[in-house]
Chain A
């Protein structure tokens, strides 16, 4: 057990160079972008002198190396800088918007897992049956329909035509108050506050974007589950389990699915990191105050501090995510012990 703690420590230590690399690259890349933030923020009517004033105020007149060390110095004190477009500290912006994105992404992933894994298992067990065909149709539809299209389609049907869904404007209808902030996840915060009405409202608001994202993420997960399950079911140990008279459920789930989980978890990790960065389209369609739309706006405005803060936050998320996935590998498969590394 001590070896395992040490191994996790080692694994964490490996992430330090990654983070350092991200800091340097995000700094250099934002500077390399075309566009001058001083011109942008000085406004259309500005003359040379006022642009120069803005430039000095932003610290952009100093050499790049000096700027970098100032930035790193601020980072070390936990200061990500101030966004020039919102006027807020970047940290505050991120803290407000990241939970919104995470809440959407996580609920979409949970939904797609709940559908995709059983679907993949069934498709593998009843190969060639209608479930298998349904799985194929869903997978094809999921990858071929872009999220902004399914999003708008869902809004058109469920909000405009049927009127079942609330207006697709943000995380909560304006008639409700935000729940007292604890985690930043409205679903959890409203439960903590015991406010079931807000919880239900959040859920209604969350439903359409979640389904939109879930349709998209469902495809790779269902596909991988089916393939991994097919492979597991053709293994020798399944034959042994059947020859020992174990029940069908035990053979399928206890022996088959658990062995098939490893590639599924890998896919899940990939899908998660992909979606977190790419759900900006869904955020735009549903006016979701998430991190994706924030980053795009910051990028357009050459808002250096905000872009760097976003990239850094994402890097931290991915590193944590990879760590969690590696740990769950070791939990699922005893052959991947940490001590063997």
Chain B
């Protein structure tokens, strides 16, 4: 149905022409689901935009053809493409809330598409739009018709983007990272819906993602892209079990999966033995009946409703839950950037909750509690070099100056695996992984006892995530730090944490040793979370335990 041959896309930039896609060839059969997997910069999204001919200014198809049902999309006139887009090929995008016009009712956005492709008239547009909303299983579609995107959840917005894509009955759906930024249970709901509806209608689909596990679960066939080229294609299970190309092998290894340890995520040659890690018995942080209530438009919002847990010295505790569960509020209160409404936070036996956030800055314990922030890019000052960034907390909270300071910064960079020549670069000159290292070096600069990690790998590619997670494990052993690891990714939490706290709606629903919570969850919500995580097929490097487990399933 779609035959892509020697397809190449380039962009004009100030530094000359950049080849984003370098001659790829792919075939897609009727009713087939193809996954295009690759890390950022691999050209996978550019390929899909080029197929739709919606490349940004400066981008153009340089060579090759993409024949869709007898027409070459690379050569088609713009007028013909307008008829093809939305009616024969449609797309859904990442970040669904931004993908909808913020100031137009979602029903009207649907009508725009329906009427454009002659599927509705002025008279029946409303009814047809509601029908289209019902088709993506939106309950109470009539009421949703009048909603604006900002009034809807991310998952609901993605359903509406999907409804727009499906409205005119296309033959091919291209999904570009459709679940990035969505919660894990929402991700599953959206992906299941996409799979069910495309199957029902006999549509073909292309799923573009960085998540190999997700692609393997939902696609018939996978194509792995790197630097604008396809390095390997094959059936999903086979690709996982027996990757041919070294890059595929690296991706498969780096994907967190049950049964694989932290070191298993790294390439074979980097798998040194993991340092011993045994938490002590003394409690470092005790949280007692912690409550946070925000004043809201319609009454107070109870973000955290009286939670209690203990973090022992040297322990790594995972704080898990979906967006809005209160995990970020909790971590902000623990790091003392946010004041609690009531409750105690004991740090080494002393209550620090009474010290307000703006006074805690000058407290001597400030250096003991540090944080690694979620977005490595946004949490670095763009006008500070890596060296200045790492020096910042030292200058503020210790007396180290001059050569001793430089020596300390270089020591920290070496600890975090940041090459010394990169220290004088600015954030925009560093890669995502390097920025993450700078963020970690800054956080450990004052030898903190307690480090709060707020989804430190959420924005990173899997292979970089593997390296950063291993770095965190090494640092923990070396510096004897205690971690609170905030994440929505249970597979990642299982790798790094000894103890897991599961939060839902501002309350702790379950906590216990990581293995116990993961393997024998007692609360239904934990079971839902675990079930929603994509389950990659067995790998060659997987242990016998995983093999036995997947056989049991």
Rounded to whole Å, the gap between the CB of A53 and the closest CB of chain B is 64
Find out whether the CB atom of B102 lies under 8 angstroms from the CB atom of A335: yes
A327 at the interface (CB under 8 A from B): no
User: Contacts A244-B165, A258-B103, A334-B103 given: A236-B113 contact, CB under 8 Å?
Assistant: no
Q: Map CB proximity to A onto B47-60 as digits: 1 under 8 Å, 0 otherwise.
A: 00100101011000
User: Which residues does chain B contribute within 8 Å of A231, judged by CB atoms?
Assistant: none
A8 at the interface (CB under 8 A from B): no
Q: Which of B92-125 contact A (CB under 8 A)?
A: 93, 95, 98-104, 112-113, 116-117
Stretch of B82-90, B301-309, B354-362 that contacts chain A: B82-90
User: Which residues does chain B contribute within 8 Å of A247, judged by CB atoms?
Assistant: 82, 116
Total A-B contacts with CB atoms under 8 angstroms apart: 84
Find out whether the CB atom of B100 lies under 8 angstroms from the CB atom of A240: yes
Bound CA span A235–B99, Å: 8
Bound CA span A97–B93, Å: 57
Bound CA span A246–B95, Å: 20
Besides A127-B57, A239-B99, 15 new A-B residue pairs in contact (Cβ under 8 A), listed by A number: A237-B99, A237-B101, A240-B100, A241-B101, A241-B112, A242-B54, A243-B90, A243-B91, A243-B93, A245-B81, A245-B117, A246-B112, A247-B82, A250-B112, A340-B297
Count chain A CB atoms within 10 A of each CB in B101, B113, B164 and give the residue with the most.
B101
User: Which residues does chain B contribute within 8 Å of A259, judged by CB atoms?
Assistant: 101-103
Bound CA span A212–B57, Å: 37
Q: Which of B35-92 contact A (CB under 8 A)?
A: 49, 52, 54, 56-57, 81-87, 90-91
Secondary structure of the A contact surface, majority rule: helix
Find out whether the CB atom of A244 lies under 8 angstroms from the CB atom of B85: yes
User: Which residues does chain B contribute within 8 Å of A242, judged by CB atoms?
Assistant: 52, 54, 85
Interface size on A, residues (CB 8 A): 25
User: Which residues does chain A contribute within 8 Å of B117, judged by CB atoms?
Assistant: 245
Find out whether the CB atom of B164 lies under 8 angstroms from the CB atom of A240: yes
Rounded to whole Å, the gap between the CB of B125 and the closest CB of chain A is 14
Bound CA span A78–B500, Å: 73
Rounded to whole Å, the gap between the CB of B55 and the closest CB of chain A is 10
B150 at the interface (CB under 8 A from A): yes
Interface size on B, residues (CB 8 A): 33
Bound CA span A25–B121, Å: 60
Partner pick for A236 among B98, B104, B297, CB 8 A cutoff: B98
Find out whether the CB atom of A245 lies under 8 angstroms from the CB atom of B103: no
- Closest chain B residue, CB of each to CB of A340: B297
B371 at the interface (CB under 8 A from A): no
- Closest chain A residue, CB of each to CB of B165: A244
Rounded to whole Å, the gap between the CB of B48 and the closest CB of chain A is 9
Q: Map CB proximity to B onto A250-281 as digits: 1 under 8 Å, 0 otherwise.
A: 10001100110000000000000000000000
Rounded to whole Å, the gap between the CB of A247 and the closest CB of chain B is 7
Rounded to whole Å, the gap between the CB of B175 and the closest CB of chain A is 11
User: Which residues does chain A contribute within 8 Å of B102, judged by CB atoms?
Assistant: 237, 259, 333, 335
Count chain B CB atoms within 10 A of each CB in A234, A240, A241, A334 and give the residue with the most.
A240
Bound CA span A245–B165, Å: 10
B130 at the interface (CB under 8 A from A): no
24 pairs, CB–CB < 8 Å, chain A vs chain B? A235-B98, A236-B95, A236-B99, A237-B98, A239-B54, A240-B91, A240-B101, A242-B85, A243-B52, A243-B54, A243-B86, A244-B86, A244-B90, A244-B113, A244-B116, A244-B164, A244-B165, A245-B116, A247-B82, A250-B112, A254-B112, A259-B102, A259-B103, A335-B102
- Closest chain A residue, CB of each to CB of B103: A333
Rounded to whole Å, the gap between the CB of A66 and the closest CB of chain B is 47
- Closest chain B residue, CB of each to CB of A258: B103
User: Which residues does chain B contribute within 8 Å of A340, judged by CB atoms?
Assistant: 297
Find out whether the CB atom of B90 lies under 8 angstroms from the CB atom of A255: no
User: Which residues does chain B contribute within 8 Å of A145, judged by CB atoms?
Assistant: none
B184 at the interface (CB under 8 A from A): no
User: Contacts A235-B98, A245-B83, A250-B112 given: A240-B103 contact, CB under 8 Å?
Assistant: no
Bound CA span A335–B49, Å: 30
Q: Map CB proximity to A onto B289-303 as digits: 1 under 8 Å, 0 otherwise.
A: 000000001000000
A70 at the interface (CB under 8 A from B): no
User: Which residues does chain A contribute within 8 Å of B52, judged by CB atoms?
Assistant: 242-243
B218 at the interface (CB under 8 A from A): no
A332 at the interface (CB under 8 A from B): yes
Bound CA span A335–B149, Å: 9
- Closest chain B residue, CB of each to CB of A336: B103
User: Which residues does chain A contribute within 8 Å of B54, judged by CB atoms?
Assistant: 239, 242-243
User: Which residues does chain B contribute within 8 Å of A250, judged by CB atoms?
Assistant: 112, 116
Bound CA span A287–B384, Å: 57
Count chain A CB atoms within 10 A of each CB in B93, B98, B103, B165 and give the residue with the most.
B103
For the complex of A and B, the 8 pairs showing the least CB-CB separation, nearest first, are: A245-B86, A245-B85, A244-B86, A236-B98, A243-B91, A237-B101, A240-B99, A244-B113
Bound CA span A240–B175, Å: 12
